[in-house]
Amino acid sequence: MFKSGYIAILGVPNAGKSTLLNAILKEKIAPVTDKPQTTRKRLKGIYTTDVCQMIFLDTPGIHHSEKNLNRFMRGEIDEAIRDADILVYLFAVDSADPTDMLDLIRRNRERYPDKKGIVIVTKIDLPIERHHLDVNVLQQELSDLKGYPVSALTRAGLDEMIQALTDLLPEGPAFYPEDDLTDENLRDIAAEIIREKAMTFLHEEIPYSLAVVVNEFKEADLTRIQADLIVEHDSQKGMVIGEGGRMIKNIGVKARKEIEALLDTKVFLDLKVKVDKNWTKNPTKLARYGYRHE
Ligand SMILES: Nc1nc2c(ncn2[C@@H]2O[C@H](COP(=O)(O)OP(=O)(O)OP(=O)(O)O)[C@@H](O)[C@H]2O)c(=O)[nH]1
Ligand SMILES: [Mg+2]
């Protein structure tokens, strides 16, 4: 009996959702930074074994804000919940306040009483003085859900988690070829790699004002990629370019290396910085950068 299904990974910003997905796949397809709100769009990660196929949905972090971009991100979470057979509720040990997650779980239970759920506590590799999560509260509030501790960094507990998910999966066929890791195309993954590197190097509000557009993507022995880094205020442009162009150069070098590893070719990466005023607040502009629901 083969099993298959969709599994949404849900958690607050920075909980470690994307890192967990990359660890499950043993391949980096999801952007990860130390800053919250890295993931903006739902991302499929496909994990296939002899007995099952799990289609994981990495989601943006649960976060309240009335900005249009954040509204889009909340829509992405809602759609992932709707599509999922199993809901993975991810809590990081270093995060003390489970209120947002408990609210989400309550809402999901009312709306989708038949969906299965599982609690995963991650980042257990962190030193004990950084463990602020009150596991007793989770056990009281979520007594009907099984819980598993993991570390995406050391891979501790991952096999047990996969086994628990396998048990919960419904019977069904494989939806994707067994070698596929995602349905995302290389051009979009490259754009996310560039955004990830820019987010990592930049500070304050700039990471949240960035979009990346790939204008040219020609795969060859030397792959040619031209991309624009879009910011939303004139004052941000200079910060992204940096003194003497140093910032944009660093972003380019780091992104190029990772894209070369992904494509297994040499890459020529040309980055430009452009301003599109207040794009995060304007629905038409959001759609231009791929932040729209089909
Ligand atoms: N020590 C430790 N750090 C982790 C672990 N998993 C993730 N992190 C770190 O936590 C930070 C956030 O990780 P992400 O995977 O981007 O978190 P996320 O939940 O996807 O965040 P958003 O996309 O912003 O919602 C990064 O700095 C990761 O390196 C873990 O198991 N152990
Ligand atoms: Mg993420």
Note the pLDDT of residue 77. 98
My answer on whether 8 and 140 are in the same domain is yes
> pLDDT tens-digit profile of 188-237?
999 999 999 999 999 999 999 999 999 999 999 999 999 999 999 999 99
Q: Best substitution site from 19, 43, 131 to test ligand 1's pocket, by max atoms within 8 Å of Cβ? A: 19
Indicate whether 173 belongs to any domain. no
Note the pLDDT of residue 74. 97
> Looking at 135, 168, 201, which one is the last position of a domain?
168
Q: How far is the CA of 122 from the centre of ligand 1 (A)?
A: 9
Indicate whether 174 belongs to any domain. no
> pLDDT tens-digit profile of 172-181?
999 999 999 9
> Looking at 168, 202, 233, which one is the last position of a domain?
168
Q: How far is the CA of 15 from the centre of ligand 1 (A)?
A: 6
Query: For position 7, which CATH number holds?
Result: 3.40.50.300
State the closest ligand 1 atom to the C-alpha of 150, by its place in the atom list counted from 1: 31
Q: Please report, for the chain, how many H helices and E strands are present, in that order.
A: 9, 9
Q: Best substitution site from 32, 120, 192 to test ligand 1's pocket, by max atoms within 8 Å of Cβ? A: 32
* Cβ 94 vs Cβ 68: under 8 Å: no
**CB of 19 closer than 6 A to ligand 1?**
yes
The torsion defined by the Cα of 195, 97, 122 and 194, in degrees rounded to 10, comes to 0
Domain containing residue 7 = 3-168
The total number of structural domains in the chain stands at 2
Q: How far is the CA of 58 from the centre of ligand 1 (A)?
A: 12
Per-residue pLDDT tens listing for the chain (294 residues) = 999 999 999 999 999 999 999 999 999 999 999 999 999 999 999 999 999 999 999 999 999 998 999 999 999 999 999 999 999 999 999 999 999 999 999 999 999 999 999 999 999 999 999 999 999 999 999 999 999 999 999 999 999 999 999 999 999 999 999 999 999 999 999 999 999 999 999 999 999 999 999 999 999 999 999 999 999 999 999 999 999 999 999 999 999 999 999 999 999 999 999 999 999 999 999 999 999 987
| Angle 118-121-122 from CA coordinates, rounded to 5° | 125
* Cβ 138 vs Cβ 98: under 8 Å: yes
Indicate whether 293 belongs to any domain. no
pTM assigned to the model: 0.98
